[in-house]
Amino acid sequence: MSPDELGFLSAVELAAMIRTRRVSPVEVMRATLARIERFNPALNAFVTVQAEEALCSAAKAEEALMRGECWGPLHGVPLHVKDNLFVAGSRTTFGSKLMETNVTSDDCPAVERLRKAGMIVVGRTNSPEYGWKGVTDNRVFGITRNPWNTKLTPGGSSGGASAAVAAGLGPIGLGTDGGGSLRIPASFSGVFGFKASFGRIPNWPGSGGAILRHIGPITRTVADMAVALDVLAGPDPRDLLSLPGSWPTQLASVPTLAASATGECYSANLDCGIRGKHIAYSPNLGYARVDPEVAAICQRAAERFAEAGAFVEPVQLDWRDPYDTWSVFFFGTAAASLEKKLPTQGELLDPGLRRVVDLGLKLRGVDFANALAARHDFWEQVRRVYERFDLLLCPTLPVPPFAVGQDDADPLEGEKLGPLQWTRFTYPFNLTGQPAASVPAGWTKSGLPVGLQIVGNRYADLLVLQAARAWEQIQPWNHKRPTLSEKSPDA
């Protein structure tokens, strides 16, 4: 197969082809590296490519297969990892001049588990400095661009991962989400991003920011997400907030075809998804303004969930924007992480991040105590929705992708927003820790992706995946591919 054909195969498809020796891990890795070399100059999705190491690991994976060994369900499949997660022996900069030469000595649990499942790390993807904003650029590596239009942002902070997945530079990207950083770029890049329940995938190393942070994959298909979560989920003693539970046995009910930990395949009933479920659709969560074209695309998508046998009902929510509560935790933990570096290295920080840190430094202990109380009050509002409904649908973002070089989207008419407040549909569910996914709802008239967010009740990760799979069958998206340039926009 050609590199282009291999580039847009799913991880599940690649793993099956590798196991049955229709393609070798080396062939897959060479194809992936060839596409990265060809298209990354225009996108700047990858900031580090571990070509020699990846090819060496692919050769070992091939030798293992010849001996009849299979390392796991994703044997020989390429993986790329956001530049704020630990990868052993890898340059891990957090997109910061403060950490430009930093090399991490250990894998974080997520990388460790995906490697044990047979995946091979091909490189690191771009992130804004310390993941602080919903677009992707920094002073170390520059701007990451959207594969659908390189003048626009792919979102952030896992924008390098989403751009790589959308462009066929690897089927699974590992990222993080503290206020929408998996779902924002999934929406802007036309791919699938899923923030599992808080603690489902362990956080380590964990700073204070881990109170909001979820680690998770970005993929092109629901099947790939299901297999990755099967590997990733489960407690880790290094994360005291990680969830217990037998997640892989739950996952057998997901309507997909995947490889189990023993290398065998299981197929679940494709009709078991969301038939009979009651789904609420909110166009604004009670407080947000939305671009009219985005609103129309999301409403049409929500209504079509009835085609899967669900009962869909528009709801008028009376929620208040929890931005002030969320920002106490987000800004405060950023300040805690960087306060000691400000006197001697503060000038190296992204100016926008420096403003966020300065806001965090003004917070008092009583502000955190009040934010904790407000967080519980907000959850009480959210919880009531799930007394009547199984799922909540809403836009992932209020606007389509916007120009690179901006930290925030332009406010809609009549709005005055703080830093990151334009992501008004995503950060509420970091406060509550609920599972939430962004699926491609459609494309604008100008050909830009729009995301629909599927939000489950606490710990209802499985149902969110089933709903995403149902939508994938109603309106498939994986066949849509951006027209890619091979030249840097700055060339």
The string of pLDDT tens digits covering residues 448-477 is: 999 999 999 999 999 999 999 999 999 999
The pair of structure tokens assigned to 44 is 């700047």
Query: Which pLDDT score, from 0 to 100, does residue 248 have?
Result: 58
Report, as residue numbers or ranges, the catalytic residues: 82, 157, 181
Query: Which pLDDT score, from 0 to 100, does residue 256 have?
Result: 44
Query: Which pLDDT score, from 0 to 100, does residue 333 have?
Result: 93
Query: Which pLDDT score, from 0 to 100, does residue 413 have?
Result: 87
The CA-based dihedral angle spanning residues 205, 154, 342, 322, taken in that order and rounded to the nearest 10 degrees: -80
Adjacent-strand bridge partners of 138: 142
Q: Has residue 363 got a pLDDT over 70?
A: yes
- The average pLDDT across 17-28 equals 96
Q: Has residue 267 got a pLDDT over 70?
A: no
Q: Say which CATH class 3-324+363-474 falls into.
A: alpha beta
Q: Has residue 263 got a pLDDT over 60?
A: no
Short-list 424, 450, 456, 469, CA closest to 279? 456
d(CA 80, CA 259): 20
- Alpha carbon 163 to its chain centroid, in Å, reads 11
pTM for the complete prediction?
0.96
Q: Has residue 425 got a pLDDT over 90?
A: yes
Q: Has residue 415 got a pLDDT over 70?
A: yes
- The average pLDDT across 421-447 equals 98
Residue whose pair of structure tokens reads 């897959």 in the numeric block = 28
Q: Has residue 107 got a pLDDT over 60?
A: yes
Q: Is residue 189 within 8 Å of residue 147, measured between CB atoms?
A: yes
Q: 442 by DSSP, 3-state: which? A: strand
d(CA 34, CA 169): 9
- The average pLDDT across 113-126 equals 98
Query: Which CA distances in Å does 26 have to 80, 170, 227, 268?
Result: 16, 14, 22, 31
Q: Has residue 262 got a pLDDT over 60?
A: no
DSSP string, 318-341: -PPPTHHHHHHHHHHHHHHHHGGG
- The average pLDDT across 135-140 equals 98
Q: Has residue 257 got a pLDDT over 50?
A: no
Q: Has residue 103 got a pLDDT over 90?
A: yes
- The amino acid at residue 234 is G
Q: Has residue 186 got a pLDDT over 50?
A: yes
Neighbours of 279 (CB within 10 A): 21
Kind plus residue range of the DSSP H or E element containing 162? helix 159-166
Q: Share the mean pLDDT of the chain.
A: 93
d(CA 280, CA 286): 13
